[in-house]
Amino acid sequence: MTRVWQWNRPVTVREVLEDLQQERSIAYTTVMTVLDNLHQKGWVRREVEGRAYRYTAVSTRAAYSAALMNEAWARSDNPAAALVAFFGMMSPEQREALNDAIRIVQRDNPEGAAPPAPPAESAGPAPVTPGTPVSPEVSPDVSPPVSPAVSAADSPEGGAESGTPGR
């Protein structure tokens, strides 16, 4: 997925293969299988071009990352505490990026406007509106989550368990 996202255009198995072979030895069939698996999981769409497929990412890397964060937050038994712990782990630069993002959301959704609805597959809690006080049961000494919400096998980033390279 990383290569498909980096190129930001439809790519063939051969193009991905040649790019990966600059770093390591990898078989054509391995790349073809990974792209086919990503297609079957819905991470990429493909179109026939001649005798080959061209693969295109279904969503951006940023949208994928946002979905992972939303899923992890939604699975928490105390979403506000999870946010406090997450914010506590941020660097000053990350906090500034968060502040920038909040300003953009507030600009695009002025007070009084309904926030966008969460994706249908999300059964998690309602999002916290910036500026909303956090409930009193939130403790700043909450431990951060230990494991990701999505297993490597389900991730388009891949992992050793899935046989899917991250590039």
Instruction: Identify the burial level of 4 via C-beta atoms within 10 angstroms of its C-beta, where 0-12 means exposed, 13-18 middle and 19 or more buried.
Output: buried
Q: What pLDDT shows up at residue 110?
A: 76
| Average pLDDT of span 122-150 | 35
Indicate the average pLDDT of the chain: 75
Tens digits of residue pLDDT in 18-77: 999 999 999 999 999 999 999 999 999 999 999 999 999 999 999 989 988 888 888 999
Q: What pLDDT shows up at residue 73?
A: 87
CA angle 157, 42, 158 (to 5 degrees): 15
